[in-house]
A and B are shown apart, each in its own frame.
Chain A
Amino acid sequence: MNPLFEEVLPGGAMWSMRIPRWRRIRLTALSPGANVSALLYHAGNPLDRLNVPDTLKALHTAMLTRGHVLMSDMGSALASIVEDTLGWHDPLGGHSTAEMVSAAFGASPYQSARNAFHRNARDNFLIELAKHGLGIADIVANVNFFSKVVADDEGRLRHVAGHCPSGASVTLRTEIPVLVVLANCPHPMHPPGEYPRVPVRLEILPSDPPPADDFCRGFRPECGRALELAARHLI
């Protein structure tokens, strides 16, 4: 199926778009080690926004993969993960700031680096959100596609290097109209060194509505109820 829209997000890029319900959003890492920090909002009411804790406790998970439904804090499915080649995306680590990026990868300002300067997810979020009348109060817990952070038995967190190979992809299906905000910036727990700069292909494709026997709908009863609440947006 041909994409309705396709674009490559260079390393460091920011991106946002209001996307109707029942579109697929596919992200593909074009070299190893991608990280895309993401926020989602109900496009018609940004106060109804991605709620990571509600999502995790409904799914009894501390990671994200196929079958999982990203839920809003007013109970609606925002988007479902319908395809995933990686099996683990991070909902715990948060997103990078200017201070973190400078500390980990060195200062690289625009004056000297031009458009290869070291961008960070916080500033990218603030810029993209401002285009939709939103700001720092709208930045809540985000997810990090392509990254893996594990907790050991003591609860200590570890960023897993080498998790994302070139070609890894994850596909979301929007369940209501959503505002998607992306920052293709290093994970805040990425080890210090060279600024990782991984291009990511973004495609928007058509989708059928989720059928009665949809994998995500049946993944857990909570997913089915979140999809049912999403359907109430159509009433």
Chain B
Amino acid sequence: MSTLNYQESPLLKKSAIASQVIPAGEGWMHRVEAGQTLRIVDLKGNQAADTFFFCAGDLQERYSAQDTIREQGGIYLTTGTRLMSNRVRPMLTITADTCGRHDTLGGACAAESNMVRYALDKRFMHNCRDTFLLQIALSGLPLTKRDLAHNINFFMNVPVTPEGGLKFDDGVSEPGKYVEMRAEMPVWCLISNCPQLNNPCNAYDPTPIEVLIWK
């Protein structure tokens, strides 16, 4: 799978059936029907949109990063990537991408992983896993922490070196960059707009994103 695979979308904002701005540190959970298109817009640039999917017909079927990267033979997500489930079935296909590279190795930040990565006193900072846990708890769906596996970080740049190193590079995203994906099955989309203040994934300045859905 090539990287920096630039592809604009023909979809117009005025024809979207739903749209929502998600401030940094907030979550969003929404059902996307088969055939519908979901767009995530990096409104101010260099933001990380932590995103996860559940199959609406069977909530135990969910996004799987390892199955996604192995089946496409590459670690970066971009136009053409099929987001695979833990049953190795395509859940969504990325149909447009003006950013060109997205991460699915880094997972979400959590209170506890912040302690490990930065310092033990980071325990009380807001984080993506808390947002995920609150969103699924409020959703009314039979979902718990057991059901959260590792996610996509749209707009994040996490290169792997041929020597097996993992780097956290400055984002390649800019204001207005977006990624768009078509649901291949009905899915629940779970987003945490990352509040991380300890690393350069969002230039230490978390900013809003926007989500839109087209029929």
Enumerate chain A interface residues (CB-CB to B < 8 A): 47, 51-54, 56-63, 71, 73-76, 88, 92-95, 97, 99-100, 135-142, 150-157, 188-189, 222, 225-226, 228-229
Contact = CB atoms under 8 A, between A and B. Distances in A.
B114 to A, nearest CB: 8
Contacts of A57: 105-107, 113, 117, 158, 166, 168
Nearest to B88: A97
A53 B116 CA distance: 13
B150 A52 contact: yes
B116 A62 contact: no
Interface of B: 1-3, 60, 64-67, 69-70, 73-76, 86, 88, 105-108, 110-113, 115-117, 119-120, 129, 145-147, 149-150, 158-162, 164-168
Given A74-B112, A99-B88, A222-B117, A154 B66 contact: no
Given A47-B146, A136-B60, A54 B116 contact: yes
Contacts of B1: 155-156
Contact of A229 (B112, B164, B168): B112
Nearest to B78: A155
A58 B107 CA distance: 11
A85 to B, nearest CB: 17
Contacts of A95: 66
Nearest to B108: A53
A229 B115 contact: yes
Contacts of A73: 110, 112-113, 129
A112 B87 CA distance: 27
Nearest to A52: B150
Contacts of B150: 51-53, 140-141
A56 B76 contact: no
B116 A225 contact: yes
Given A47-B146, A141-B150, A155-B160, A94 B70 contact: yes
B116 A229 contact: yes
Contacts of A188: 70
Contacts of A51: 107, 113, 150
14 contacts: A51-B107, A56-B105, A58-B117, A73-B112, A92-B69, A94-B66, A94-B67, A137-B60, A137-B146, A151-B74, A154-B3, A155-B75, A228-B120, A229-B120
B214 to A, nearest CB: 29
A97 B67 CA distance: 11
Given A74-B110, A92-B105, A150-B162, 19 more contacts: A51-B150, A53-B108, A53-B150, A57-B107, A58-B113, A60-B167, A61-B165, A62-B105, A62-B165, A73-B129, A75-B115, A92-B70, A97-B88, A136-B86, A137-B147, A139-B86, A153-B162, A156-B1, A225-B116
B3 A53 contact: no
Contacts of B116: 54, 58, 71, 75, 222, 225-226, 229
